[in-house]
């Protein structure tokens, strides 16, 4: 049984939905948006970028994260799943609604097509 999003979610309701749903959602000003799947070409571009970044950052205290890493980014829709993100240094996670959210990414790659 799936849970269908509705308008006017509080942050607490959004994170409750995230905990029980098989679908990933992004949160923006009380609304939640289901994250759609990607085309094979999009996935290949994502893999290629992650591979390139990983090789460029080798030997540095950096990490590359895939689209499963939940981020909190105040200047964008604050709770999102970008295609990829990168962090150099120690990660800072905020525990929100029982879920870990990365709060200090240095690079965020989002779908442009």
- In whole angstroms, what is the distance from residue 105 CA to residue 111 CA? 17
| pLDDT band at residue 4 under the 50/70/90 scheme | low
Q: Is the pTM of this model over 0.75?
A: no
Q: What is the pLDDT of residues 31-79, one digit of tens each?
A: 888 887 778 888 898 899 999 999 999 999 999 999 889 998 877 667 8
Alpha helices in the chain (DSSP H): 11-20, 40-56
All domains of the chain in start order, with CATH: 11-109 (3.90.1570.10)
The count of residues in the chain is 113
**Per-residue tokens: 81:** 């799943």
Which two tokens mark 55? 């090789």
């Amino acid at each position: 049984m799936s849970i269908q999003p509705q308008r006017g979610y509080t942050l607490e309701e959004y994170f409750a939905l995230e905990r029980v749903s098989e679908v990933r959602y992004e949160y923006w000003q009380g609304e939640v948006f289901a994250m759609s799947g990607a085309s094979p070409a999009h996935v290949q571009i994502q893999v290629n970028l992650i591979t390139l970044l990983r090789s460029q950052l080798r030997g540095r205290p950096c990490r590359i994260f895939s689209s499963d890493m939940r981020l909190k980014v105040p200047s964008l829709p604050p709770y999102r799943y970008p295609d990829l993100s990168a962090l150099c240094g120690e990660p800072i996670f905020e525990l929100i609604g029982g879920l870990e959210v990365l709060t200090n990414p240095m690079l965020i790659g989002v779908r442009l097509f």
